[in-house]
Amino acid sequence: MNTAMVRLWSLQNVFFLWLASPKIVELTEERCVVRVPLNWRTRRRDIHAMYLGTLCMGADVAAGLIAFKLVRERKLRVNFLFKDMKAEFLKRAEGPVYFTNNEGRMIQDLLQRALDTGERQEATVPVIATVPSKFGDEPVARFTLTLSLKKKS
């Protein structure tokens, strides 16, 4: 169900995300894991590795999906966006990439602060990208995204 929800939303809002065919491997209030396949749409042909833009998009989904899930399930009126992103590309992503966000507790606290104060609240969300088929748990990239939440007036 989670993958279908993301695919439908992306078809309406971010068409390239739909083309990249992300799969939600795990989505709880504590953790999110998103898999993006390496295929003709997502890779650079000259180096046979995932395109930088696709890697950033995978990190974006993994960092924001917990907040999206919480807001949707609780029917909250909250706007959220990313204020900035920092990325470190460590190795070529030459296989399906798994983007992991283990900061669900921090995102829940951030959401609660935004609801309690009515003011914009921000927190930095780390996301690790791995290619288990080639490198096991060793990261191919690290991302930090500043998630910004504000209760709608």
Task: Classify the C-alpha dihedral 16-17-18-21 as positive or negative.
Answer: positive
SS3 at position 64 = helix
Per-residue pLDDT tens digits of the chain, which is 153 residues long: 588 888 777 777 777 887 888 999 999 999 999 999 999 989 888 899 999 999 999 999 999 999 999 998 989 899 989 999 999 999 999 999 999 999 999 999 999 999 999 999 999 999 999 999 999 999 999 999 999 999 987
Query: Can you give the pLDDT at residue 17?
Result: 81
pTM, whole model, 2 decimals?
A: 0.92
- The DSSP 8-state label assigned to residue 119 in this structure reads S
